[in-house]
Structure 1
Amino acid sequence: MTAYEKPDLAISEVENVLRRHLGPEVAEIAPMSGGNLSSVFSCVVEGKGYVVKFSDLDGAYETERYVSNLLSNEGIPFPKSLVLDKTGQLAYLIMERVEGRTLADCTAEEQTRQLPEMIGILSTMAEIDVGTTSGYGWIGPDGNGAYASWKDFVVAVNAEDQTGTFWENWYELFRTSCLERDVYEEIYSRLMTYIPYNEPNRRFIHGDFHQWNILSDGTRITGIIDGNCVYGDPLVDLAILDRHMPGNDVAKSYQIYHEEAGIAIPDFKERLIGAYYFKGLDGLRFYAKMGWKDAYQGTRSFLLNLKA
């Protein structure tokens, strides 16, 4: 199994799409870094910035448009969705551009200074009312989750048959990459024991909340982008940020924030461990597929050494 390759587009193709929707004044079209599954470009129209993303994956961006509306209405600085359409076999989404650079491009000190704001955003997302929707797992364009329970979702995303998705034929990774089946199955077994702690806490999960999907002007957070959005335990987002900002006591800061706000977090330790296992297991698979052996080894060690 080879590493996934994003769609390759000529600037002229991108220009045609943008002019179709934004008019002839489109200027400064340029590719953007980041995004493992999309080819992303920026442009300017009469001084205002826009972003267009292209993907060949089924249903790409339909949920992102829904999530854009959901988060924007709650004051989360998520890019507003403008156009969702197709060109040939590629789906594309045009959004307003959020100014700033990725938090990953900020210094470690700048990142640490903005941690309280990130904790606040995590808390706000976790409190979004999703009571009018149903289901767990992947959020569909109608706002509902794809599975009846968190357990059903966990089982499904780790199943061998992933036909038509990014993970099609992923079992080949056990043979062709650094992914170890015995390690994978050990972590999966542990994950299943924590499902009863995570399942009762159904909320919105961004699913990819780390420095490469957080924008900043160096002193404050200007935007949250992308995401693998699902319904489930919001501590999954905390686990992601904590693993991407080691040495910052992210989980402890989250607890303190909620204690000071008078918000109880039942079964915090058990839920966070379950969240670590859930995202870590997917991380092992992803790092193996992308050939990122150092990231694989670091995650492998962290998960195997987690203590109940």
Structure 2
Amino acid sequence: MSRLAEAGAALLGGTLRNATPLGGGDLSEILHIVLADGRAAVVKGGPAPQTEAAMLRAMALAGAPASAVLAASDTALVIEALPASGSLAAAWADLGRTLARLHATEGERYGWPVDYAFGPVAIPNTPSDDWPVFWGEQRLRVHVPHISGALGRRIEALAADLPNRLPARPRPALLHGDLWAGNVLADGDRVTGLIDPACYHGHGEVDLAMLSLFGQPSAAFFDAYGPLDPGHEERRAIYSLWPALVHVRLFGAGYRSMVERFLVEAGA
């Protein structure tokens, strides 16, 4: 049995019976554990389990489905195992309602109380009252030293022009922050959990852009989520740039074409 499985069992005050790896753990180990007394849970490693625990609690408090935090330490997060026998194809409408509830919870400023990371890629979250400045400095310019040549200069130029492209003070919605289909659990036509959050407060369209990065939500999703502000299609490319840049740094130059495509779509 792995050290992570043993650590999870110890945090629950039980004896480990077995542990099974779960898919999706590109950046951290994830296991389903069963204790000798029959209790089951999911255990996740990673650099900041306490930070993720706070995010899950924040989403649950906002009325979004999220795994209950059973225990957390500096090395392991133990959460409830949620039903997930369905697919998102049948649950788009419920995801729209879920995301609308999440985004209805507002913060006082843009950002998050702490910084975190996706693997080796630091994600700064210093609070700000100016949304274009936050997005330009903490989501685009931070990657320029890692992106060579002309591409980096185009990102710099776009960041400088964001006051003309993004709303200065959109409602600081609670964001999931890494919302793609693999981070949505479904059972039948119901969303049972939003997992692996990277929460902060920002423009709600950021989550929508991420959700559209590798696919397209159905019309039922957008009907359930509610009307979008004018210009959202133009902003989607700007918001999609951030996950594309993170992918370049995590997984290599194969994602540079995605960055270039979003720069073209953004007119940069």
For the aligned pair, the TM-score class normalised by the smaller chain equals 0.7 to 0.9
Among 28, 31, 47, the residue aligned to 1:41: 31
Q: 2:152 is aligned with what amino acid?
A: R
- Structure 1 position 292, deviation (Å): 5.1
The aligned length equals 257
Query: Per-residue CA shift, 1:149-177, capped at 9, x if unaligned?
Result: 223422431476x6xxxx7xx723427xx
Among 13, 18, 23, the residue aligned to 1:23: 13
* Distance in 1 separating the partners of 2:231 and 2:132: 16
Whether the 8 Å contact between 2:12 and 2:71 is mirrored in structure 1 is: no
* Distance in 2 separating the partners of 1:302 and 1:153: 19
Is 1:289 paired with 2:249? yes
- Structure 1 position 295, deviation (Å): 4.5
* Distance in 2 separating the partners of 1:191 and 1:285: 17
Secondary structure (helix, strand or coil) at the match of 1:147 reads coil
Identity among equivalent pairs (%): 20
* Distance in 2 separating the partners of 1:249 and 1:221: 15
* Distance in 2 separating the partners of 1:276 and 1:180: 15
Inter-CA distance 275–81: structure 2 relative to 1 (3 Å threshold): farther
Query: Per-residue CA shift, 1:188-237, capped at 9, x if unaligned?
Result: 34544223x26231111111111110012354322110121111111211
Whether the 8 Å contact between 1:202 and 1:232 is mirrored in structure 2 is: yes
Q: 1:117 is aligned with what amino acid?
A: D
Inter-CA distance 180–273: structure 2 relative to 1 (3 Å threshold): same
- Structure 1 position 291, deviation (Å): 3.3
Whether the 8 Å contact between 2:175 and 2:201 is mirrored in structure 1 is: yes
Q: Normalization by structure 2: what TM-score?
A: 0.79
Whether the 8 Å contact between 1:203 and 1:233 is mirrored in structure 2 is: yes
Query: Per-residue CA shift, 1:95-117, capped at 9, x if unaligned?
Result: 1122216xxxx7xxx53332111
Whether the 8 Å contact between 2:113 and 2:127 is mirrored in structure 1 is: no
* Distance in 1 separating the partners of 2:214 and 2:230: 18
* Distance in 1 separating the partners of 2:224 and 2:189: 20
Inter-CA distance 44–190: structure 2 relative to 1 (3 Å threshold): farther
Among 15, 27, 41, the residue aligned to 1:50: 41
* Distance in 2 separating the partners of 1:190 and 1:201: 21
Q: Normalization by structure 1: what TM-score?
A: 0.70
The residue aligned with 1:221 is 191
Query: Per-residue CA shift, 1:77-107, capped at 9, x if unaligned?
Result: 1011122213xxxx32111122216xxxx7x
Q: 1:151 is aligned with what amino acid?
A: P
The residue aligned with 2:53 is 65
